[in-house]
């Protein structure tokens, strides 16, 4: 949920308050510019009163000597506002269209830095029967109202945008918008913290992320705290931590509210349901764009889900979807490449110049209509922007099953007599790492941002990872839309995790990436991935033990994507049962609450993936005709 690649780098040093707000949209970008290239702005810091009397620290940047009425572009964040010292040097010239034509407003939400009130992570909407209730929706309403009434020379219009947590506050503002709030862009907003965003995926707890993020935001209200590990490889540290209950006993001592929520709500109960957006997304009240990154390591699920839930209510065609080849927040920086993967152009610049800025210029300044397509997505592999009249596409796409076959093969041909299964032993004492070791802390190192594009050969031949692949493709295979895994599997335990990765395998003669000095021959690039905690196979509210040894069918949503598997490449699928420490270890013995498991509860399990005619495990691909 942290707002940008550079923001996360700064968190360990308390952000130093010297960052330059170059993105507005919840992203802090350090941009190297000469002084004369920068745009001079006025700096104003105010404390805006809310309806309950709490005042929120707000910084307003405005262009020097503007003679026209300007709209507001607002970002509401828990991460800090720009300082007068940093903005005194001027703003980056690359953001000229913004800083010369808008009041750029950044506000700390309740309880963060100088803002008054109590910070509640992911504060849910207040009870509508409480006339004095406050939440991020009412705080946004009150902020817009104050700005319109108290900042001179404004044109009576406001927009809101943000990335991650700031994207979430933008969606909250759009639930009940002030009449002056005319448009929004949410980038990587979480939608459901139990089903698919920051802290859980399909009920599987995101251990290292949840641990470090909770410590960062709730150890102090005046800084972003970096947990101090006593060794360089956090894989070893988290393994040494042992059962999840040791986190409170050894480190948190019940003082971090979010960690306490994790431990007391292991299932999809009312607590998580109230935090999720789904119940509130019943109207498109202002035009809104939802932005996702195909390799977003934090909130890939959220924008797709929010768009999907709003779409049935979009009678006036004001709900749009955009996805590009980005990690979390990369749309605010340079989008030419991610790790060793080169996309042939700066995709982030394209997004900012063709979507983000024209969108707000149209709704807030009356400029030319950008005529956005319903969905604009970047097709990786082919490295081309595509436009669709629906997402996922409703025409020109055929759902095809890619079957697991004997000999670790993948084929579009259904299995005949070659039934059977492939198996491995999953050992919680030796879990599969989610990125090459040593695994540094989530923040501030750069590795966290690129782990989803790291070469998966580092686990391909582990005995507890199964891989199947096609022959080299004789023609391009383009996919656009929702991808799913259909697994027939058994475990000797009574609970299990199933992690599935869809992978593009480069040909052996692929040219090396000269910038990162990466050997690309045989490179294994994750295209889509997800995990499912088996206890939730029949619903997330009431976990159920898995019948030991029984073959169970699992449907796993790998979410939407747009990618071309090029001629000469192979398609691969990997399946494993641990992904550590980004996900906690499943004891593989059913426990009512894994947070209360003891060391002796963690047991080995034999896992089998079946591929017979009546138990035909497969990946379901939306293949472009």
Question: For the chain, which residues make up each domain, given as ranges?
Answer: 5-191+277-388, 397-624
Burial 180-202 (b: 16+ CB within 10 A, else e): bbbbbbbbbbbbbbbbbbbbbbb
Q: In whole angstroms, how far apart are CA 33 and each of 8, 30, 39, 96, 460?
A: 21, 9, 10, 13, 43
Contact 466, 574 (CB under 8 A): yes
pLDDT for 599 equals: 97
Q: How far apart are CA 532 and CA 195, in angstroms?
A: 10
Burial, 335: exposed, middle or buried (Cβ in 10 Å; 0-12, 13-18, 19+)?
buried
Both ends of the chain: CA-CA distance in Å? 36
| 339 pLDDT more than 80 | yes
Its sign, for the CA torsion 530, 536, 537, 540, is negative
Neighbouring C-alpha atoms within 13 Å toward the C-beta of 178: 25
CA dihedral 112, 114, 115, 120 (to 10 degrees): 20
- Residue pair 405/468 in contact (Cβ under 8 Å)? The answer is yes
Task: State the pLDDT at residue 170.
Answer: 98
Which pLDDT tens digit goes with each residue over 456-476? 999 999 999 999 999 999 999
CA distance 578 to 427: 8
Query: H or E element: which one contains 108?
Result: strand 103-108
* pLDDT at residue 443 in the model: 82
- Bridge partners of 154, per DSSP, are 70
- The alpha carbon of residue 182 and the mean position of all alpha carbons in its chain are separated, in whole angstroms, by 25
Report pLDDT digits (tens) over 593-620: 999 999 999 999 999 999 999 999 999 9
Q: Which fold has domain 397-624?
A: Jelly Rolls (2.60.120)
**Segment 564-590 mean pLDDT:** 98
Residues 6+ apart with CB under 8 A from 373: 320, 387, 388, 389
- The CATH-assigned architecture of domain 5-191+277-388 is 3-Layer(aba) Sandwich (3.40)
Res 348 pLDDT > 70: yes
The pLDDT confidence band at residue 1, using thresholds 50, 70 and 90, is low
Alpha carbons within 13 A on the beta-carbon side of 578: 28
pLDDT of 446: 87
Percent above pLDDT 70 for the chain: 94
Give the pLDDT confidence score for residue 255 in this predicted structure.
93
Quote the DSSP letter at residue 536. G
DSSP string, 365-381: H--------SEEEEEBT
- Give the pLDDT band (50/70/90) at residue 22: very low
Give the Cα-Cα-Cα angle 97, 102, 107 (nearest 5 degrees): 120
What is the number of helices (H) and of strands (E) in the chain?
Answer: 15, 26
Q: Give the model confidence (pLDDT) of 212-224 as tens digits.
A: 999 988 888 788 8
The pLDDT of residue 77 is: 98
Angle made by CA atoms 386, 392, 393, in degrees to the nearest 5: 60
pLDDT over 50 (residue 143): yes
Q: Which helix (H) or strand (E) holds 447?
A: helix 447-450
Alpha carbon distance 235, 245 (integer Å): 17
Q: How many CB atoms lie within 10 A of CB 416?
A: 9
């Amino acid at each position: 949920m942290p707002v940008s690649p550079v923001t996360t780098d700064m968190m360990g040093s308390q952000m130093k308050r010297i960052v330059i707000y170059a993105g507005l949209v919840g992203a802090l970008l350090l941009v190297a510019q000469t002084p004369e290239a920068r745009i001079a702005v006025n700096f104003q810091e105010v404390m805006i009163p809310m309806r309950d009397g709490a005042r929120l620290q707000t910084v307003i940047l405005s262009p020097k000597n503007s003679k026209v009425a300007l709209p507001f572009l607002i970002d509401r964040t828990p991460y800090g506002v720009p300082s007068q010292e940093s903005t005194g040097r001027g703003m980056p010239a690359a953001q000229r269209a913004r800083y010369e034509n808008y009041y750029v407003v950044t506000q700390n939400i309740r309880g963060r830095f100088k803002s008054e009130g109590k910070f509640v992570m992911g504060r849910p909407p207040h009870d509508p029967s409480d006339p004095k209730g406050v939440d991020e929706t009412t705080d946004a309403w009150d902020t817009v109202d104050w700005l319109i009434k108290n900042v001179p020379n404004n044109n009576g219009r406001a927009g809101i945008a943000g990335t991650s947590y700031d994207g979430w506050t933008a969606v909250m503002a759009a639930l009940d918008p002030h009449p002056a709030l005319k448009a929004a862009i949410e980038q990587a907003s979480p939608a459901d913290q139990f089903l698919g965003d920051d802290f859980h995926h399909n009920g599987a707890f995101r251990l290292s992320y949840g641990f470090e993020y909770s410590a960062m935001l709730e150890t102090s209200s005046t800084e972003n705290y970096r947990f101090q590990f006593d060794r360089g490889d956090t894989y070893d540290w988290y393994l040494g931590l042992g059962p999840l209950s040791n986190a409170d006993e050894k480190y948190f001592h019940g003082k971090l509210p979010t960690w306490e929520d994790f431990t007391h709500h292991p299932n999809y109960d009312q607590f998580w349901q109230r935090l999720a957006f789904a119940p509130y997304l019943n109207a498109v009240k202002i035009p809104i764009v939802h932005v996702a990154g195909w390799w977003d390591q934090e909130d890939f699920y959220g924008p797709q889900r929010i768009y999907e839930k709003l779409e049935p209510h979009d009678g006036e065609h004001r709900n749009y979807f955009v996805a590009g080849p980005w990690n979390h927040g990369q749309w605010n920086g340079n989008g030419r490449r991610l790790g060793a993967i080169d996309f042939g152009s700066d995709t982030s610049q394209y997004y900012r110049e063709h979507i983000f800025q024209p969108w707000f210029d149209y709704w807030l300044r009356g400029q030319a209509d950008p005529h956005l397509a319903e969905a604009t997505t970047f097709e990786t592999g082919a490295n081309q922007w595509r436009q669709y009249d629906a997402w996922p596409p409703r025409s020109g796409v055929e759902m095809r099953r890619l079957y697991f076959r004997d000999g670790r093969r993948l084929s579009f041909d259904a299995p005949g007599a070659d039934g059977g299964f492939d198996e491995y032993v999953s050992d919680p004492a030796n879990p599969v790492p989610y990125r090459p070791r040593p695994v540094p802390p989530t923040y501030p190192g750069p590795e966290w941002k690129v782990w989803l594009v790291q070469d998966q050969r580092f686990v391909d031949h582990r005995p507890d990872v199964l891989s199947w692949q096609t022959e080299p493709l004789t023609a391009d295979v383009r996919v656009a839309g929702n991808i799913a895994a259909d697994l027939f599997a058994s475990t000797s335990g009574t609970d299990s995790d199933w992690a599935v990765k869809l992978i593009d395998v480069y040909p052996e003669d692929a040219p090396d990436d000269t910038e990162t000095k990466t050997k690309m021959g045989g490179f294994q690039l994750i295209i889509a991935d997800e995990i499912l905690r088996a206890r939730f196979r029949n619903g997330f509210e009431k976990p159920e033990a898995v019948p030991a040894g029984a073959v169970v069918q699992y449907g796993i949503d790998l979410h939407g994507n747009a990618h071309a598997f090029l001629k000469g490449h192979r398609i691969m699928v990997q399946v494993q049962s641990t992904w550590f420490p980004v996900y906690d270890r499943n004891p593989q013995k059913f426990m009512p609450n894994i947070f209360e498991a003891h060391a002796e509860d963690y047991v080995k399990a034999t896992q089998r993936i079946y591929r017979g005619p009546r138990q035909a495990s497969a990946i379901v691909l939306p293949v472009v005709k």
